[in-house]
Amino acid sequence: MNYVACFGDSLIQGYPYSNQNSWIAEVEKYAEVKMLNYGVCGECCDDILARLKTTTLPEHVHHILFLGGANDVIEGKPEKYILEDIAKLVKWCEEKKYNLCIVLPLISAEPMLNVQLQSIGRAVEEKYSDKVCIMNLQPAVGMSSLERRLAYLDGVHPKATTYKTMGKFAAPLVMEWLEKTAMAKLEEVAQEVEAVMEEGFENIASCLLATPAGNLRISASNKGIVEIAFTDEDVTAFSETENKFLAEACKQLQEYFAKERTTFDLPLDVQGTEYQEKVWEELKKIPYGEVRTYRDIATALGNPNAVRAVGMANNRNPICIVVPCHRVIGKNNKLTGYVGGVEKKEYLLKLEGVEL
């Protein structure tokens, strides 16, 4: 479960209703996320930032959503100072390693306020769109002056029905933000892991095995198999080694291609991120001759919406066939990308008797 700490003014709080009637509470009905409501009616950007800095957030919170600026405009605060407060917010979140999402100020039903509100929104988009998530909920409130008059109680505070619409509109945007930050973190950690693995390649022995599906490069450390991957290298590229795991891996793979083996018993020496390793373990549970979808794997790991993260971990599986990433397919039984090539994926599944 992902947790998002939501800081802002009355539009986060859900004024004039309760927190349970706010749009962020509505998000929870459509997305697997816990939205923590830290909204306070009447606060300006500097107030919100000060409260954020002094609030002790739960350790499992890595995402902050911010919505403010309307009260600053109502109180006549110059735009320059509002943007300075937002800049401080962005900098603080960067320093504290929080993923930040800024919700653009909502255009009101009061024309006198809208010129500055729109100007602030444009400035935030121009300056921070490549640094933080920018979320625009205006379409859920209304784009025309008539739509906005009908959406608000008093020109600035949404009606209960508007809060519901905002939440339903925001839910997929929130999930997309969470997925993107998760994948970015996975990529960052994966690069670190690869760097560490490269340092240890001095003690890695390798050999090539010719199979009906194509040549396989098999590599092992003194602890177990570190890689099985399809390669275009010629089978004479490597000489025989004394590594005891390589011979056993070759034997079991030959039995697999001869339809004499449906499971493998090989020690593996692989490293990945915590999430990658969970995905790889889940792949090993898929029986011979069966398939699962990316969503099936994501659901088994507790987050059905993490399809992209599962796909990325699946793509980084270093042990093909033995850790059967080829048994994961797209929805509607569609064969999706495979590191060795879709044609090899199709061959392996047909070998196991899967009807495509």
169 neighbors 158 (Cβ within 8 angstroms): no
Residue 38 to residue 59: CA distance in whole angstroms:
16
Residue 38 to residue 12: CA distance in whole angstroms:
7
Determine how β-strand 205-209 pairs with β-strand 133-135: unpaired
Q: Classify residue 258 by its DSSP letter.
A: T
Residues classed as catalytic: 325
Helix (H, G, I), strand (E, B) or coil at 245: helix
Instruction: Point out which residues pair with 230 in neighbouring strands.
Output: 216
Burial of 337 (0-12, 13-18, 19+ CB in 10 A): exposed
CA 229 to chain centre: 26
> How far is residue 275 from each of residues 75, 193, 296, measured CA to CA in Å?
47, 13, 15
Residue 286 to residue 264: CA distance in whole angstroms:
12
